[in-house]
Each structure stands twice: as C-alpha cells, then as structure tokens.
Structure 1
Amino acid sequence: MAEQSATVIEGARVIFADRVATASVRFEDGVITAIDGARDGATVIDGRGFLLAPALIDVHGDAFERQVMPRPGVGLPIAPALLETDRQLAANGIATTYHALTLSWEPGLRSVANGRAIVEGLRDLAPRLTVENRVQLRWETFCFEAIELIEAALAGPLAPSIAFNDHTSMALLDPAVPMQDRPFDQDPNFPVVDIDSPAFEGKMEERAKRSHMTKQDFVRLIRNIWDRRPEVPAAIAKVASAGRARGVPMFSHDDSRTETRDYYRGLGARVSEFPMNLTVARAAREAGDILVFGAPNAARGGSHLGSPGAADMIRAGLCDVLASDYYYPAMLLAMARLKADDVAPLEQLWPLVSGNAARASGLDDRGVIAEGKRADLVLVDWPEAGAPAIRRTFVAGREAYRAIPAG
C-alpha cells in the first residue's frame, strides 16, 4: 500500500472511549498519530459541526443477499453484487464487515456452491473493495458438505469468524413449542413437527423458492437431511476444532437454553449471537461471554421475532454488540434511537458498534479513537433532533466514502 500523507480532522466533536469532546485527530499511513497535535503540513479537514467517531464494525450482516438475489429465485452475478454491497457498507460508515454467509444444505442462495463463489469473489475483488470485507462462516450444522470450504476459508488471508447455526431443527420444531424456548437442538426428545402436514409444507414455501425447488421437493429434501441428526455432534466438534486451531472468534446463534450456550462455550464459542430469552442472556453474562443483538431490534424499539428488546438488554448490561443483521443503516439508526431514548450517553453507546465489536472479533487494532489505533473513522452530520448521516468514511486512513450535501 502506498504511503498516505498526513491528515488532520479539526473542530469535530470526537467520540473517545470515556467522553465526547471537541478535538483534532491526526492520522497518517493508516494510523492515528496524534490527538490535538500539530498540523505540520497535513491536509486539514474542517470537522466543525460534525461528529467524528470510530468507524462501524459489523460482526453479522446478511443484507448482501439482497444484491445476490433481490427476489426469491432471481439471482444476479456475484462480482457486481459484492461491489454494490461494498459501496453500501462504506456509505453507512462500516469499515470492517463480516458477511453472514450461510452455508447450508439448501440449494440456491445459501448453498455451499454459492458460498464458495462469494468467498472466492471477495478474494478476487479485494484490491477494488473500499472497506474490509470478511466473512462470518454461518454454518448450518447439518451441512457436512460445507466443512471443506470452512477449512479453506480459515486458511485465507483475512481470518473469518464461525457461527454455529441450526435452522434445520428450528424448521422442524413442533409449532406448539415457542421458538424462543425450544429445547437444546441435540435433545433426544426434541419435539418435531408432523413433516407430512399441509401446514409444514406451506411453512417451507419461501425456503423452497429461495432454493429453486417445489414445496414438495423441498420437504423431501429436509426429511432426508434430518436423518443426519446422529452425525451432527461429530461434525460440530470437527469445525470447532478447526476454528480453535486458527484462533478465530466463534459464535452460537439463536441460543434458547443455557444448555445450548454451555455446549458451544465448551467448544470455544464465547459469543452468544441473538440469544432468544433473558435466562440465556443472563447465563452468558455470568460466564463472561460476549452478547450480540440486532441493530434493527434497537432501531425499531423491539424484536420482530418476540426475542428480548435490545434497548432493554443494554440497560440491563446484557448487550455488548449491535450487528446490522439484515439492514446496514440500522447500526447508525440504533445509535440515534438509543441516544434519543436516553438509554446511555453516546460514548457508552458507540462501543456497541465499534470497540466492543472489535473485541468480539479479536481485532485489537481498531474500534476506538486513540493514538496507535487504525484510522477507521466516520464523520457524521448529526443536527440536534435530526437524523444522522455519514459524510465521510475512512478505512485505515484511506477515504472510502464522501458525500457532499446540496446545501
């Protein structure tokens, strides 16, 4: 990478780890070199009237799927989809992202073949991308075919994260049992729906479309996949071992029981992603795990699935990180909603989308504005009582996005 000339952003209100204060921030060659230091011939950016904050770090975002498949069954080429996704990330102030790449036994959008194309596409496009695009290997535990790709991705230049998902058991859960209170997925008495019922076939309609299959064929497929259930624990152990060997962060997804959280913690997964009830969240906190909730949940004022409200979890000290989930703008919108609702001061809220997310990802070089840290920064236009908007995004000191308003 070519050396970068020094830049100073002056006069902005800066979000530090312990306060918001007017300051100047100098960076060069991708690193913050001074707070309230000298100009010394640096390029000066007038930050007056703006907020300067650590750039956002997204530990789980699958909105890229809408570029790959904007409508069920309507696929588009991978390269332009990823380039468009990258532009959206930069425009939303996200300097580091983990694409929640579902690796499933389902054909189509979430297939292993499509996952491989995306991993390879990100690798090949890396010199043209504006932000740091990593992947969260969102592995469906019944998909043994994905293990080879997971091992290959773990050997890549940008370490991924691993998220253990079991949407197979969730899909087959008896509808009389609330999803938020379902048993541990490997419970031998796990309550299963009547797979032959018309109601179950109807429930699978959207997934069948996404997989380019008829409902009937999809039901037959999931019935065959369910027969793999006795082999799932060994597959999980194999993937967890590979993750530990590479030292990557590992997550469990949609935990509904403390038994589930205990199981994945024992395998080295110290992040609970979207825990589905208060009991699990409290148990995870007591064990020192990191808790992730969805930024759309916080921005909307509640979960669309009936899971715990992110704002309530933050107030209770049970949320460390907010992820974009399915909507990139939600991270900044969540900050605005939480600030407006006086959930906490801004310097305490911002780590939910920056510093804490860096910690959850094992990225200790970024996420805060301090000397020696990577110059991942966002300049935010945030008028009093108005909606915030990203005006500039810097990734390792390089300007990845700039918007000049008409006024």
Structure 2
Amino acid sequence: MTELFIEGGRALLGHEISETTLRIAGREIVAVGTDNSHSSPGIDAGGLLVLPGIVDLHGDAFERQMMPRPGVDFPIDVALIDSDRQAVGNGITTVYHATTWSWEPGLRSADNARCLLEAIEQMRPQLAADTRFHLRHETYNIDAESEIIDWLSEGRVDLFAFNDHMDSTVASLAKPLKRSRMVERTGLTNEAFDRLVQSVVTRGHDVPASIARLAQAARAADVRMLSHDDESPAMRQAYRAQGVAIAEFPVNEETARDAAAASDFIVFGAPNVVRGGSHTGWTKASDMVAKGLCSVLASDYYYPAPLLAAFRLAADGVLPLAAAWQLISSAPARAAGLADRGMLAAGLRADIVLVDDTAPRRPRIVAVVAAGRLVHLTEANRLVRSSVASRKAVAAA
C-alpha cells in the first residue's frame, strides 16, 4: 500500500472550501487534515483548489475517436485509450461511455455495441478513469431485447437508458442536412435508409411491452435506469412508474418540474451551460440549475464541459462553486448508486482533481488522482518527496 499526501490546497469538504491536507493510502483517502510531518511522496497544492473527481454519467464523445469522419473507423482500443486520456485530462475520474444500440447499422449498430462492451471489460485495468458501460437502448430496436436482458442479468451494464428517437428520425428525413448526417453514419444509401426507417416504424405497437420487460430486467439486476429526452410530464410519469428514476435531458421546464417534484435525478448537458444554451434550441440548462430543476450535469458530447460548466455557474453567480461542483461529483455519484466517491472524506475512493482557478472562467487542471494513483500532472515541480513543512524548514536553515 503506497501513501500520497496532497498538501496546502483549498479543499472542498462537504459544502465548504478550506485549506487542509489529504492523506491517501492505496485507493482511498484515509485522513483529512493530518500532520504534515512525513516522508512519503506529496503533491504541493498551494494556491490550488482540491476537488472531488468528476463523475460523468453520460458521455459519447468517444464516438468521435471511433469514427472521426463518417465512414472512417479506428480500432476501438485506440479510441478508448485516447478517450481515457481526454477524460482524465479534464478531471473526469469516473466515466460512463454512453453507447447507443440502435436499429441502425454502422456506428450505433449491434456489432459496435458488442465490441465496445467487450473492449471496456477487457481494458478497464489499463485505463486511468473508472470506465463503465452506459447502454442507450433505442426502444424501437426490439430485436436487441433478449440480448440486452442477458447483459443486464449478467451484470455487464452499469447504467441503462431508454431512448426514443423515432419521431425525430422521421422528421429529419425532410431536412437535407440532418438526413445526410444520419445516412452517412449508417453507411447506407438514401434509398436503403428510407426502407429501413419505414420498416422500423411499423414496430411501434410492440414498443411499450418491450420497455416493460427491459425495465423489469433492469430492476431485477439493480441497474439504475434513465429516460432520455422526456417530452412531457406524462412521459416522465410513465417511466417513473417502471422504476426509471433519472430524467435525462427533459426537453421542457414542465417535464423537469414534474421530475423534481418526485425527487427524480435530472440530468442536463454541461455543454449547454458552457455555450449558454442548447444546440437544439431546447431547455437552457443554467436556467434549470437556477430554478433547482437540474441535479446532475454530464459531458454529453464534450469532455471539457463539466469542469468549465461548474466554474461558469459560479462566475455567473448562479451557484457557489461548492454547490456547482456537486452537480458533477457527489450528485451523479448518488444517481448512479456509487456511495464510495463524489466527495473528499476519509474512507472514500481517492478520486481527486487539483485545479488552478486563477482565471475563474478558464479553470486549468494541474493534477488528477484516480483511485489513489497520480494519473495526470502538468507541473512536475508540484510532486515533492517531503512535506511542505519539511521544505520550509530546510529553506529556513
């Protein structure tokens, strides 16, 4: 068991930020505010914020590493390693790769979902972030139901989301730019894509029963569930009745209010906060945060966004930084059922981010510790072999 000290930083402890020292042994924080007289390795966090690692419930930016251009594929192991570096470099120490298994061929096909799941399972030991599998099931993909139930019962799925993009897909057929992107992603011709959509649409009458069976399987396996893009309180209520307690990107305030009234977790995209609004023209996330209608922010399609969003909320006066950081640390940890992380406290997993907040809207990651291991460091002089107190004594002498 190795020891590591993080010394002299302003640490987020509960709802307060105060200067202290963290002692890490193995994978855990074993003490907060310990004596600095030690000979174990330490990180000088003077002038820096010391924050819990970011827990990202929904991120699909890894898809761009798999297919950076339509029809241009790269090996999944290469994509996962690069995505891991990006995630950790932006303070994300627990990452749920949101993998869409659709009725489409191509990037969101059955083969890709299978290959990605297998790659995550095999590569976890060599990845710096705790990498988990968030399966986004397109509800019209009824052919996948039995295999997904098997995955759930075998404990291979860490989060399970219900997606229904059928109406938007049909609507996009009349919009040349959106249609072109969708067709390119599948690798089909325009005519073949049209035929596929027409065939899938006819499955609508079988979808509700399929959702019910899958929700039952997820409950039996104790897998947390999300519903994606809920359009109305009625939709949110229907999913809630099946044990789906996380509302992911509700499209209007009315639906978010229904979720909040029932104490559901409500997820919005951190890029929405950073950019000042939704790229789809839907709900503005910072407004939802200000109204108490957002409990979790996720990277969505851009790994730098959670870090930037928390600091922007603080800079804009929407929330104090301590409360804003909870949206990307302790709250998503609770939503996912991870009781061992999201805060800085003795006995919890040592997932820690050191941030230079000199420029409040442009925070800079200096160091990242994941499960007790220093996995990212931008300033080598911060890593010391003796305590801050010992160095001061030497300097004084």
Q: Taking structure 2 as the reference length, what is the TM-score of the superposition?
A: 0.92
Does residue 37 of structure 1 match 2:31? no
> Post-superposition shift, 1:245?
0.7
Summarize the Cα distance change of 1:139–1:300 in structure 2 as closer, same or farther, 3 Å threshold: same
Cα distance in 1 for partners of 2:137, 2:307 equals 28
> Post-superposition shift, 1:403?
1.7
Query: What letter is aligned with 2:231?
Result: S
Check conservation: 1:201, 1:216, Cα contact below 8 A: no
> Post-superposition shift, 1:201?
6.7
Does residue 162 of structure 1 match 2:160? yes
Say which SS state the counterpart of residue 194 (structure 2) adopts.
Answer: helix
What residue is the counterpart of 2:211 in the other structure? Answer: 236
Check conservation: 2:311, 2:321, Cα contact below 8 A: no
Cα distance in 2 for partners of 1:156, 1:137 equals 14
Cα distance in 2 for partners of 1:141, 1:385 equals 42
What residue is the counterpart of 2:198 in the other structure? Answer: 223
Which of 98, 101, 108 is equivalent to 1:100? 98
Say which SS state the counterpart of residue 101 (structure 1) adopts.
Answer: strand
> Post-superposition shift, 1:146?
2.4
Say which SS state the counterpart of residue 20 (structure 2) adopts.
Answer: strand
Q: How does 1:1-400 map to 2 (within 5 A)?
A: 3=1, 5-39=2-36, 40-155=38-153, 159-173=157-171, 199=174, 203-385=178-360, 387-400=362-375
Query: What letter is aligned with 2:163?
Result: N
Any idea what the Cα deviations from partners look like across 1:263-313, whole Å, max 9, x if unmatched? 110111000000000100111111111100000001111111122211111
Query: What letter is aligned with 2:28?
Result: V
Gaps of 5+ in 2: 383-397
Cα distance in 1 for partners of 2:308, 2:154 equals 33
Query: What letter is aligned with 1:80?
Result: V
What residue is the counterpart of 2:394 in the other structure? Answer: none
Any idea what the Cα deviations from partners look like across 1:129-167, whole Å, max 9, x if unmatched? 111110111000011232244234335566510110001
Any idea what the Cα deviations from partners look like across 1:57-76, whole Å, max 9, x if unmatched? 00000000000000111111
Check conservation: 1:201, 1:215, Cα contact below 8 A: no
Summarize the Cα distance change of 1:33–1:403 in structure 2 as closer, same or farther, 3 Å threshold: same
Check conservation: 2:140, 2:200, Cα contact below 8 A: yes
Summarize the Cα distance change of 1:238–1:157 in structure 2 as closer, same or farther, 3 Å threshold: closer
What residue is the counterpart of 2:393 in the other structure? Answer: none
Cα distance in 2 for partners of 1:302, 1:235 equals 34
Query: What letter is aligned with 1:287?
Result: A
Query: What letter is aligned with 2:159?
Result: S
Pairwise CA RMSD of aligned residues?
Answer: 1.8
Any idea what the Cα deviations from partners look like across 1:318-344, whole Å, max 9, x if unmatched? 110000000000011101211110111
Say which SS state the counterpart of residue 22 (structure 2) adopts.
Answer: strand
Cα distance in 1 for partners of 2:130, 2:71 equals 29
Any idea what the Cα deviations from partners look like across 1:202-227, whole Å, max 9, x if unmatched? 64221111000111210110000011
Cα distance in 2 for partners of 1:92, 1:119 equals 23
Summarize the Cα distance change of 1:208–1:164 in structure 2 as closer, same or farther, 3 Å threshold: same
Summarize the Cα distance change of 1:324–1:83 in structure 2 as closer, same or farther, 3 Å threshold: same
Any idea what the Cα deviations from partners look like across 1:169-203, whole Å, max 9, x if unmatched? 22225x8xxxxxxxxxxxxxxxxxxx7xxx36764
Gaps of 5+ in 1: 176-194
Check conservation: 1:153, 1:160, Cα contact below 8 A: no
Cα distance in 2 for partners of 1:105, 1:389 equals 40
Identity %: 44
Q: Taking structure 1 as the reference length, what is the TM-score of the superposition?
A: 0.90
Cα distance in 1 for partners of 2:135, 2:246 equals 14
Cα distance in 2 for partners of 1:257, 1:296 equals 23
Query: What letter is aligned with 1:373?
Result: L
Check conservation: 1:201, 1:219, Cα contact below 8 A: no
Number of matched pairs? 381
Cα distance in 2 for partners of 1:360, 1:105 equals 28
Summarize the Cα distance change of 1:225–1:328 in structure 2 as closer, same or farther, 3 Å threshold: same
Query: What letter is aligned with 2:11?
Result: V
Check conservation: 1:112, 1:145, Cα contact below 8 A: no
Say which SS state the counterpart of residue 65 (structure 1) adopts.
Answer: helix
Moved over 6 A (4+): none
